[in-house]
């Protein structure tokens, strides 16, 4: 056995080399090795930075992330999502994280918080929104080059376990949705739930690939801590549109510098949906194919209610009221399309509710005139929405 130490001169060319050993002139073995320009180049492709550790990726991403809490006109929390600095003083989040808000509270990683009352740019159907936050000292995340990823890649996504915590998850890019490059979205192997909407998806270098989205359904469907009021089995948002990732390339660069519009103006234009009443009197609700009555009071839904067709002509809805106070008012259902435009509604009907006395309401709603797509249906008691669900209409 023998060992040697060979000096490598600075003038030697980089590339693949071979070391041959001989004993008495006879070949005894060959070992190949690479000479690179620096000690990290062997780990990455030419021009790339050293591969950071998951811990380093987490530290950078957590520092650039914010919690986005949407608030109603009384300052009460509606929902909470993620956001992240994509440029200096510019935060990218999901549209659902701001939908229905009168104002936004952004909690930064250093423990400070900022109130935001306007939006720089937004797109409801693609589920993104841009906010301007003048902090000055938060380093934005680096952007991945367009199409630098491929299906099967290992990536990272931020999540939260509550109480202001930030965690990191390792996920895989599992596929694509959409048939053209301009409409494609990415699917991943895991998802952190409603509170992860607006979080960044990061490649193995910690660069942002895209923003996590929940599709067309809205976080404003229920308030924080009360999501179970509409996420009944078979009626959850994910059943209508699975969570996906919108690539950054789908967001125009001009969106980062547009003139801001106030949330109040957006609400007045009908661009934001109304949040559910903070003291909703509706206990549970279901979309269904039909319903049947039990005696003089109870009404039971019949058949699944996530998807309907034009052939059916109608959808049915059943709501169980669990009032906490005496109410006399008018009830009606309103149907909105994916752009939050009112497309159908029922005639108003009188309703009288007694505190702690269960009551039932049921409707059959014509849908034959609607175009195929995803719709939202709201139950209004006078001027306030009490319950909300989503459905898909097909030919």
Average pLDDT value for residue range 52-65: 93
Task: Judge if 270 and 303 occupy the same domain.
Answer: no
* In-domain check, residue 2: no
* In-domain check, residue 386: yes
* In-domain check, residue 122: yes
Q: Which domain holds residue 138?
A: 47-274
Domain final residue, candidates 214, 239, 274: 274
Please report, for the domain that includes residue 301, its CATH number. 2.60.40.2550
- Could you give the number of structural domains in the chain? 2
Task: Judge if 193 and 303 occupy the same domain.
Answer: no
Percent residues over pLDDT 70 in the chain: 76
DSSP 242: -
pLDDT value of residue 22: 64
- Among residues 158, 365, 206, 381, the alpha carbon closest in space to that of 281 is found at 381
* pLDDT band (50, 70, 90) for residue 40: very low
Higher pLDDT, 45 or 112: 112
Task: Judge if 268 and 307 occupy the same domain.
Answer: no
Task: Judge if 229 and 319 occupy the same domain.
Answer: no
pLDDT of 178 strictly over 90: no
* In-domain check, residue 249: yes
Task: Judge if 176 and 224 occupy the same domain.
Answer: yes
Domain final residue, candidates 239, 274, 309: 274
Average pLDDT value for residue range 367-390: 93
* pLDDT band (50, 70, 90) for residue 305: confident
Angle at 276 between CA 274 and CA 278, to 5 degrees: 125
Task: Judge if 358 and 390 occupy the same domain.
Answer: yes
Measured between alpha carbons, how far is 262 from 36 in angstroms, rounded to an integer? 54
Strands (E), 110-243: 113-116, 118-119, 121-123, 128-132, 154-159, 167-177, 185-188, 200-202, 208-213
- Is-above-0.75 flag for pTM? yes
* In-domain check, residue 14: no
Contact 65, 82 (CB under 8 A): yes
Query: How far, CA to CA in Å, does 164 sit from each of 67, 69, 112?
Result: 8, 11, 12
* In-domain check, residue 68: yes
* In-domain check, residue 159: yes
pLDDT value of residue 20: 64
**Segment 90-129, tens digit of pLDDT:** 999 999 899 999 999 999 999 899 999 999 999 988 889 9
87, burial (CB in 10 Å: exposed 0-12, middle 13-18, buried 19+): middle
Task: Judge if 288 and 198 occupy the same domain.
Answer: no
Task: Judge if 178 and 264 occupy the same domain.
Answer: yes
- H or E segment at 109? none
Domain final residue, candidates 245, 274, 303: 274
* In-domain check, residue 161: yes
Measured between alpha carbons, how far is 277 from 321 in angstroms, rounded to an integer? 14
Task: Judge if 117 and 224 occupy the same domain.
Answer: yes
């Amino acid at each position: 056995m023998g060992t040697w130490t060979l000096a490598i001169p600075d003038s030697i060319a980089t590339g693949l080399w071979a070391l041959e050993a001989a004993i008495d002139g006879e070949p005894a073995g060959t070992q190949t090795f690479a000479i690179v320009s620096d000690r990290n180049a062997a780990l990455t492709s030419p021009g790339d930075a050293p591969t950071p550790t998951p811990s380093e990726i987490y530290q950078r991403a957590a520092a650039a992330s914010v919690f986005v809490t949407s608030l109603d006109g009384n300052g009460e929390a509606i929902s909470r999502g993620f956001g992240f600095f994509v440029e200096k003083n510019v935060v990218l989040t999901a549209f659902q994280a701001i939908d229905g808000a009168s104002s936004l509270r952004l909690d930064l990683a250093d423990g400070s918080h900022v109130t935001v009352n306007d939006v720089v740019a937004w797109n409801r159907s693609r589920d993104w929104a841009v906010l301007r936050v003048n902090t000055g000292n938060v380093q934005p995340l680096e952007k991945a080059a367009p199409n630098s990823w491929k299906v099967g890649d290992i990536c990272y996504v931020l999540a939260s376990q509550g109480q202001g915590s930030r965690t990191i998850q390792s996920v895989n890019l599992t596929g694509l949705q959409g048939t053209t490059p301009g409409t494609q979205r990415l699917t991943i192997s895991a998802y952190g739930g409603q509170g992860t909407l607006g979080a960044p998806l990061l490649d193995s270098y910690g660069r942002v690939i895209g923003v996590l989205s929940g599709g067309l359904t809205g976080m404003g469907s229920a308030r924080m801590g009360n999501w179970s009021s509409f996420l009944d089995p078979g009626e959850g948002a994910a059943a209508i549109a699975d969570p996906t990732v919108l690539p950054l390339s789908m967001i125009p660069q001009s969106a980062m510098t547009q003139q801001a519009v106030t949330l109040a103006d957006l609400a007045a234009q009908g661009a934001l949906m109304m949040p559910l009443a903070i003291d909703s009197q509706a206990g549970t609700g279901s979309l269904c194919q039909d319903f049947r009555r039990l005696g003089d009071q109870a009404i039971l839904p019949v058949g699944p209610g996530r998807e309907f067709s034009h052939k059916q002509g109608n959808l049915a809805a059943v709501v169980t009221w669990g009032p906490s106070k005496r109410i006399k008012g008018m009830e009606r259902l309103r149907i909105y399309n994916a752009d939050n435009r009112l497309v159908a509604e029922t005639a108003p009907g009188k309703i009288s509710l007694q505190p702690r006395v269960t009551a039932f309401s049921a409707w059959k709603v014509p849908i034959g005139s609607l175009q195929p797509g995803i719709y939202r249906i709201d139950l209004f008691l006078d001027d306030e929405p009490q319950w909300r669900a989503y459905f898909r209409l097909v030919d």
